[in-house]
Structure 1
Amino acid sequence: MPSPAPEFLITGVGITAAIGSGRDAFLAALLEARHAFASMTRPGRQAPGLDPFTGAEIPGLPEPQGVPARALRTASLSARAALTAVGEAWRDAGLDDVDPARIGLIVGGSNIQQRELVLAHQRHADRPQFIRPTYGMSFLDTDLCGFCTELYGIQGFARTLGGASASGLLAILDAVQAVRSGQVDVAIAVGALMDVSYWELLALRGMGAMGSVRFAGDPAAACRPFDAARDGFIFGEACGAVVVERAGSRAQLGPYAYILGSAVTMDRNRNPDPSLDGEVRVIEGALQQAGVTAADIDYVNPHGTGSPLGDEIELGALRKCGLTHARINATKSVTGHGLSAAGAVEVIATVLQMRAGRLHPTRNLSDPIDTSFDWVGAQAVEHQVTTALSLSMGFSGISSAICLRRF
Structure 2
Amino acid sequence: MKNLSRPEILVTGMGAASSVGVGRAALLDALLSGRSNFSVLSRPGRQFGTSFIGAEISDIDSLASLPERQLRIMSLSTKVALAVVDEAWRDAQLSSVDPRRIGLIIGGSNLQQRELVQTYTRYARAPAFVRPSYSTTYLDTDICAVCTEYFGIQGVAFSLGAASASGLMAVIQAATLVESGVVDVCIAVGALTDISYWECIALRALGAMGEHGSFTQPSQACRPFDRMAAGFIFGECSGALVVERADMIKRPNVKPYVRLSGWGISVDGTRSPKPSVDGEVRAIEQAMGRAELASQMIDYVNPHGSGSPLGDAVEIQALKRCQLDGARINATKGILGHSLCAAGVIETIATILQITASQLHPCVNLEDPIDPGLGWVRERAERRTIRNALKLSFGFGGFNTAICLSRQL
TM-score band, normalised by shorter chain:
over 0.9
Partner of residue 193, structure 1 = 192
CA contact (8 A) 2:7 2:247 kept: no
1:148 alignment counterpart: 147
Residue equivalent to 1:41: 42
SS, match of residue 165 in structure 1: coil
TM-score scaled by length of structure 1: 0.97
Contact 1:64/1:87, CA 8 A, preserved across alignment: no
Separation in 2, partners of 1:2, 1:341: 30
2:337 maps to: 336
Secondary structure in 2 matching 1:105? strand
Instruction: Report the equivalent of 1:403.
Output: 404
| CA–CA separation in structure 1 for the residues paired with 2:24 and 2:247 | 24
Separation in 2 of the partners of 1:109 and 1:192? 6
- Equivalent-residue separation in structure 2 for 1:330 and 1:206 (angstroms): 24
State the distance in 2 between where 1:79 and 1:301 align: 27
1:379 aligned partner: 380
RMSD between superposed Cα atoms in Å: 1.2
- Partner-residue secondary structure (3-state), 1:289: helix
TM-score (ref. length: structure 2): 0.97
Encode CA deviations 1:306-345: one digit per residue, 9 max, x unaligned.
Answer: 0010000001110111101111000000000000000001
Distance in 2 of aligned mates of 1:2 and 1:230: 40
The Cα shift of 1:54 comes to 0.5
**Contact 1:6 1:258 (C-alpha < 8 Å) held by counterparts:** no
60-69 vs 116-125, greater mean Cα deviation: 60-69
Cα offset, 1:161, TM superposition: 0.5
- Correspondence for 2:281: 280
Does the 8 Å CA contact 1:215/1:221 hold for their aligned counterparts? no
1:173 aligns with 2:172: yes
Deviations 1:47-86 (A, max 9, x none): 2x3x310000001215344422211111111001100000
Give matches, 1:352-391, under 5 Å.
Answer: 352-391=353-392
Say yes or no: does 1:23 pair with 2:41: no
Deviation at 1:295, TM superposition (A): 0.7
Shift in Å, 1:6 = 5.9
Q: Per-residue deviation at 1:178?
A: 1.0
Q: Are residue 129 (structure 1) and residue 128 (structure 2) matched?
A: yes
Question: Matches of residues 73-222 of structure 1 in structure 2 within 5 Å?
Answer: 73-215=72-214, 217-222=216-221
Structure 1 residues not aligned, in runs of 5+: none
- 2:324 is aligned to 323
The total of aligned residue pairs comes to 405
CA contact (8 A) 1:62 1:84 kept: no
How far apart in 2 are the matches of 1:212 and 1:28?
27
Following superposition, the deviation at residue 18 of structure 1 comes to 0.6
Verify the 8 A CA contact 1:267 1:278 in the aligned structure 2: yes
Contact 1:279 1:317 (C-alpha < 8 Å) held by counterparts: yes
**Counterparts of 1:62 and 1:307 in 2: how far apart (Å)?**
33
Gaps of 5+ in 2: none
Counterparts of 1:2 and 1:240 in 2: how far apart (Å)?
29
Assess if the C-alpha contact under 8 Å between 1:63 and 1:84 holds in 2: no
Corresponding residue for residue 235 of structure 2: 236
Q: Partners in 2 of 1:308 and 1:113 — Cα distance?
A: 28
Deviation at 1:146, TM superposition (A): 1.3
Q: 2-side partners of 1:67 and 1:372: how far apart?
A: 51
Structure 2: distance between partners of 1:244 and 1:272:
31
Q: Is the 8 A contact 2:211 2:233 kept in 1?
A: no
Post-superposition Cα deviations, 1:117-174, rounded to whole Å, max 9, x if no partner, equal 0000000000000011111111000110111111100011210000100000000001
Q: CA deviation at 1:180?
A: 1.6
Write the letter of the residue equivalent to 1:370.
D
